Amino acid sequence: MVGWAIAVHGGAGVDPNLPTERQEQAKQLLTRCLNLGISALRSSASAIDVVELVVRELETDPIFNSGRGSALTEKGTVEMEASIMDGVGRRCGAVSGLSTVKNPVSLARLVMDKSPHSYLAFSGAEDFAKQMGVEREENDYFVTEDNVGMLKVAKEANSIVFDYRIPTTGYESCGAGVESPIRMNGLPISVYAPETVGCVVVDSQGRCAAATSTGGLMNKRIGRIGDSPLIGAGTYACDVCGVSCTGEGEAIIRGTLAREVAAVMEYKGLALQEAVDFVIKERLDEGQAGLIAVSKTGEVAYGFNCVGMFRGCATEDGFMEVGIWE
């Protein structure tokens, strides 16, 4: 028996001018989700059940970029993606290109549990959702007024915007004629503020699990897939640890960030926080990202190399923290 631990995130890379009211809303949601997970763990729920439960809650609330409140594509629609992984047997499921599924993380869980596959996308994933009878909504359910405004800003700036939680005023200078020092795959990005949601858990049996869900980039191309549904990049769990990442998806993919945390623990013998710090420093190149992690021994850790990360964590011994900044 080990002490359980849980961590949640709502994205790395936060606008330093984010209004205090929105900061408090985000922290309240993270606290609510932590308490939901803690209650389930105290009732002996398994790690895989808890990560799904918590990410469903995050997807249902429009504050962060997943499920309802997802970032919009260039055509004003949503294409959501998620993944889930059980460290027991390294079982996993992932989905991309969803436009009607209310809780993408639960469809990913069904891919893991009820299909012979690990990853379904677009029309195939939607057909599977119908077959499984999951709760579905019209695309308009996922579209919020904030997102519509942020998409307008992105289109006027002729740029990809990482998320909607930047105020829609005060960025008049973020047009195509102003080159940003921040780049994605070598191309300048006008505004950087990614938000994805994720949860990692180790239960009292030492079983680790992880889940990640997102709407992706604001004004992204139709068909773009990020790191969140990619096992080993945005999400990973094994018998050593569970990891969920957030940030610049292309950099996370190149660095296979989530798997790297487990790898350096296995092969370099690093403790969890040491592994997180090493991967953030050595595997992102010029990318900006963050991650949360738990170990099979009940440790919890996080790290990021950008301005802030919405996160919360708790352990069985009574420790609890919710924060945004360093």
290 is in an annotated binding site: no
Amino acid at 78: V
11 is in an annotated binding site: no
Catalytic annotation present for 214: no
In this structure, what is the dihedral angle of CA atoms 267, 271, 277, 279, given to the nearest 10 degrees? 20
323 is in an annotated binding site: no
Residue 116 backbone phi and psi in degrees, to 5? -85, 5
Residue 172: C-alpha distances to residues 18, 22, 167, 175, 181 (Å): 17, 21, 11, 7, 17
206 is in an annotated binding site: no
**Tokens 């990853």 map to which residue?**
119
Non-local CB neighbours of 255 within 8 Å, separated by 6+ positions: 233, 279, 283, 284, 285, 287
Helices marked H in 176-306: 249-254, 257-268, 272-282
247 is in an annotated binding site: yes
21 is in an annotated binding site: no
DSSP one-letter string for 288-306? -EEEEEEETTS-EEEEESS
Q: How many Å apart are CA 307 and CA 220, to the nearest integer?
A: 22
Q: Report the 10 Å Cβ neighbour count for 22.
A: 15
Catalytic residue among 31, 100, 144, 196: 196
226 is in an annotated binding site: yes
Q: How many Å apart are CA 52 and CA 83, to the nearest integer?
A: 10
299 is in an annotated binding site: no
**Residues annotated as part of the active site:** 196
As annotated, the binding site for substrate includes 224-227, 246-249
Q: What residues are designated binding site?
A: 224-227, 246-249
